[in-house]
Amino acid sequence: MTAESSHADIVVIGAGIMGLSTAYHLARERPKLRIVVLDAGYLCGGASGRNGGGIRAQWSNEANIRLMQESLHLFGEFAKEHRINTWLRRGGYLFVARSAAKQRALEQSVAVQNECGLSSRLLTAKEARAVVPELEVRDIALASYNPTDAVVFPWPFVWGYAEGARELGVDIRTFTRVIGFEKRGRGIRRVSTTRGSIDTEAVVNAAGAHSADVAKLLEVDMPNRPQRHEICSSEPLKPWLTPLVADLDDGVYFSQSTRGEIVGGVADPEAQPGTDQSSSVRFLALYARALVRLCPRLASVRVLRQWAGLYDITPDSHPIVGPVDEVEGFFQASGFMGHGFMMAPIIGKLLAQHIAHGTPLPLFERWNLRRFRQGRLLEEKMIIG
């Protein structure tokens, strides 16, 4: 498909890992479809290129666990399928809890994980220190550990999906911002961009933290909002840390990369909605205190890089996936907070099957947009960052 084409069977808005996974799987499901992917920036310019690369099946509800079991499998096959090194490291995730509430959440979550066949197990503070001897465990009440969770380098997955989609005929147009739509009845007729218009009747909104703005152009009200989350990387250290460590109480998380850097972040309870992606001294102070509290040996480590990305946050911290009632042919894949990267392989695959063949999406019915106006908010106990 050429850059001058003015028609597509499907337009995907957002060339992050979610949009590219959807486009790639659509092209595999229906090779003759004309698919265009639009992005306002460059590949890896958004959240997909700004995250810590953690991928895990430790969640508190069955749907998320089973989805991530499938997604972890797809991550594991990715390097072979796309002929690209992903630096996947299956060192596991070690969650720690300090408060009684988070302790109960861990106990309940691990019970559900075990029912799904996950090898998660609860650990005492002493047992957690056996997994990571450098931990300060005096005020840790309980921990959980799943050895098959992993950490990857995020960029190769964006590049791999992009190259794979292009090989299947998908047209990926970067630096192309969507500025409007034309409708025909309840459906879509045309997408207008800063580089011309595209006639289409099907649009996938995978614009991440900007997805609500895209939906607004179609007069669809979505409750998700962008929020800055920061992350940093230290100087390289000799390898010593196997799992990604996450504290459910203060939201700090950190892992060690293949080059030895400590990569991590922490939640800021005062973070405000908005698209600001600048770096702050406040983050370094919050992160340093939380990190050293959990791992004192890192008190003297030097920070080399600091950056920020945007979480795409909904009122119940669950995503919005699938069609909407207001506009025919308008599909959502947004609102994933900070875990859109890890879910993108399986979400893109299942959404593509639904769009291409009408395959039912029973797992995603609870993630529909109408739940917010119906007051059916969901709960997830294993949110970090």
**Per-position pLDDT tens, the chain of length 385:** 444 558 999 999 999 999 999 999 999 999 999 999 999 999 999 999 999 999 999 999 999 999 999 999 999 999 999 999 999 999 999 999 999 999 999 999 999 999 999 999 999 999 999 999 999 999 999 999 999 999 999 999 999 999 999 999 999 999 999 999 999 999 999 999 999 999 999 999 999 999 999 999 999 999 999 999 999 999 999 999 999 999 999 999 999 999 999 999 998 988 889 999 999 999 999 999 999 999 999 999 999 999 999 999 999 999 999 999 999 999 999 999 989 999 999 999 999 999 999 988 888 889 999 999 999 998 888 888 6
Q: At 247, which amino acid appears? A: D
> Closest by alpha carbon to 210, among 332, 49, 352?
332
pTM of this structure: 0.95
Identify the CATH number of the domain in which residue 99 sits.
Answer: 3.30.9.10
> Closest by alpha carbon to 384, among 241, 284, 266?
266
Residues 238 and 286 in one domain: yes
What are the two backbone dihedrals, phi and then psi, of residue 187, each rounded to the nearest 5 degrees?
Answer: -110, 180
Helix/strand/coil for 265: strand
What value, to the nearest 5°, has the Cα angle with vertex 342 and ends 175 and 57?
Answer: 175
Q: Specify whether the CB–CB gap between 244 and 382 falls below 8 A.
A: no
Is there a domain that residue 276 lies in?
A: yes
Is there a domain that residue 56 lies in?
A: no
Identify the CATH number of the domain in which residue 181 sits.
Answer: 3.50.50.60
Structural domain tally of the chain? Answer: 2
Is there a domain that residue 382 lies in?
A: no
> Closest by alpha carbon to 349, among 4, 11, 20?
20
Residues 129 and 241 in one domain: yes
Q: Which domain holds residue 191?
A: 10-49+155-224+316-374
> Closest by alpha carbon to 15, among 177, 153, 134?
177
> Closest by alpha carbon to 262, among 252, 270, 249?
252
Residues 166 and 196 in one domain: yes
Strand partners, 196: 193, 194
Is there a domain that residue 304 lies in?
A: yes
Residues 244 and 143 in one domain: yes
Residues 163 and 292 in one domain: no
